[in-house]
Structures are given as structure tokens and as C-alpha cells.
Amino acid sequence: MSKVFKVSGIGLTAIVVVLLGLYWSGYGGQLAMAAFLAANAPPGDFDPKQAAPTPDYAEPVNWAALPFRDDPSDLVPIGVNDQSGVRVVDTFFIHPTGFLSASGWTSPMNAESATEENTQWMMANQASAYNGCCNVYAPRYREANIFAYFGDEQVRDEVLAFAYNDVLAAFTYFLEHYNQGRPFIIASHSQGTHHALRLLREEIDGSALSRRMVAAYIIGGAIIPVSPEWFASMSEIVPCQRADDLQCVIHWDTMPEGANAMERTAESLCTNPLSWRVDEKIATAELNQGAVVPAGTYNTAFGSQDDAPTKQNFVALGAPQPGQTWAQCKNGTLFARDQTGSGFAAMGSDEMGTYHGLDYALFYMNIRSNAQRRVAAFQAAQGSNKTL
């Protein structure tokens, strides 16, 4: 069996930064990148006919998280006790990239794989942040391979569009069979955020759904910005400006202090998750309610490596660590304290110039409590007959 590399939390941007570093380093770097892609990317062009069968979202197996089933999205950090009461709001969570194998352009939906373990990792360490306010629903989908983000932009968009069709089908099923007209949150990370951008623009903005949406926590867009142009394309949805704003969008990309701002093709929204404002004022570490070291291991069955599972189980989250970092938006990027020497250091991969893997972890309890606050604000507005 081929070796399966196990690297805590190195996600999309960590790998992107390495490969783009090769590209930007000059002609030799471009050749090195081309050679790397040739050796590790899926062979041939993307062909939808070669993808796994279309998932049937009436089947619970095609959901990574469901509120009536035990799964890692149910995990709660040690010492946190906010699970009482009936949830009257849902969260639809779209997970990021976990498929890094050269075996195809989209995930084969193999339950016995490192890719599926990565989805469980995301449920435990990201989707779980919303179980204090909401019933959590998260579809499995034929996600785009990490390699779709390199090379021809047309290929990237084609593969992402294919994956988005599954997300849309899952969201439609969620609305028709699970949601029952309740308010909802849209939440995501990385590739999931790329799909959420389209879902918000094409399905939610300007419709009755926008009045039922509490907020959208679409975090870690990285390569694809949450840009002013994207907001300008919509009629109702705007950036959140305060901690209790509703029917609006929250987004950030995290980098370590001292690094350059993340390079993108356009400006991108930066919401400070400690102050929940869109400004460049530093929010001190005293406002950090608790970072949570991610449970388990994110597998990188990368390129030609075997996409074999490591048989890990996600059974517990650690205790929150208050004051772990300050936060400050600068030039559209969120900067945080250097995590060298902390339990977050291996995940942060700051030697690669990004804290993409820490977008949720460093601000976990702030996300959790803010989702609860916005839900309470939404319910209060409904109770006062305020127009939503």
C-alpha cells in the first residue's frame, strides 16, 4: 500500500501557496510546477461521464451531517454546555476540499477513503461550531479535486460547476424535506465557500429565502475573493458590519503576523471575527473567547498516493483556549498572532505563508457564540414583527 501522508490541517491554500511559489519564482519555477502537475494531477481532461453516480440526497449516506444522526458535527469542546433546548434554526454547511488524489477530477464518493475521513475532520472541527445554535446539515458531494485550482481557469470553473450541481441539489432537498420553512444559516470554508458564493447569488439573493437567512459565514475564500463586484451583482445581500447584523455575509482569510496580505485577483471582504466589524482596527486577544485545537488528522493522500483511510475516529474536541490571538484586517486579509510553539503551529503551516487551516480553529468560540447571537437577534426581530 502506498504511503498516506498525514499533515494536520494543511488545506487548499497551503498547497496553493507552494505551487504558486514555484510559478512565481521564474521560468525554472514554472517548469518545476508544470513537472509537478504532470506527475500528480489527474490524467486527461475532465469528463463528467467518468464521475461517480449522482448522489441521491434522500439517502442519509449522502449527508456528512444530519441532526437526527450521531456524527462528528455533534462534537462540543470540553467545558462548553450550550446544547439545551430545541433548535429552531438550521445550518447548511458546505465543506472544503478533501480530495487530493490523482484518481479523478471529482471525488469518487468512496466512504472508505482518506478523502471521506477529511470530510469527517471538517464536520468535527468546522461544522460543529454551529451546533450551539442550529441543526447542522452538510451534504457529501462530488467535490472538485485540488488540482482543478491550477492551470486553465476554464477547467477549474468547469469542474467547480459540476461539483456545485450536487451542492444545489442537496440545498434543494434540504429546503423541501428537512428545513420545513425554518430560518437558516449558510456556512462554509474554502471550496465550500466558492460554492456558497454561487448559491447566495443565484438561489437566495432577491428571493423569499433571503428573508429566512440569518447570515452567511462563508469563510476562507482564498483564491476566489468575496469581492465588491460580487456584492454589486446582488440586489439584497451585503457584508455584515456588526455582531448582530442579519441577512448578510461574513468572510475572512487568515495569515500570520509579518506575512504579506493574501494575493488575489480582486479585493476581498475581511470581517474581523473578534469584533465582527469590517475595519482595520486591531481586536485584542482579550476578545478571543477561545481557540480550539482541531481534533484528528487531515490526511493528504496527495497526487499519486493511495487515497486509503487511516481508520481514525473523531470523538472529542479539546477545551477552548481563550486569548489565543488578537486579530486585525489589513488590505483585505485577517492577520493573527504567530502560533509558533503553540498547539496550533503544525496546523498553521506558517512556513507556507498561510493560516488557512486555522480560519475556524483560532476563532472557534467566537464563531459559535456569534452564530447564537445572530439567531437570537433574528428571533427577537420576528417576535417584534420587524420586517426581515
Query: What is the predicted pLDDT for the residue at 14?
Result: 46
At 269 the three-state DSSP class reads coil
Query: What is the predicted pLDDT for the residue at 15?
Result: 53
Choice among 83-87, 116-120, 123-127, 135-139 with the minimum mean pLDDT: 83-87
Mapped to the 3 state alphabet, what secondary structure does 7-45 carry?
A: CCCCCHHHHHHHHHHHHHCCHHHHHHHHHHHHHHCCCCC
**Which pTM value belongs to this model?**
0.91
For 190-221, write each residue's pLDDT tens digit: 999 999 999 999 999 999 999 999 999 999 99
Percent of the chain scoring above 70 in pLDDT: 86
User: Which residue's entry shows cell 509537478?
Assistant: 36
pLDDT class of 32 with cuts at 50, 70, 90: low
- pLDDT above 70 (res 376): yes
For 145-163, write each residue's pLDDT tens digit: 998 987 678 889 999 999 9
Mean pLDDT of 75-79: 97
Residue 65 CA neighbour count, 13 Å, CB half: 30
Q: How does the average pLDDT of the chain come out, rounded?
A: 89
Q: Is the dihedral of CA 100, 40, 13, 167 positive or negative?
A: negative
pLDDT class of 126 with cuts at 50, 70, 90: very high
Alpha helices of 72-132 — where are they, by DSSP H? 114-125
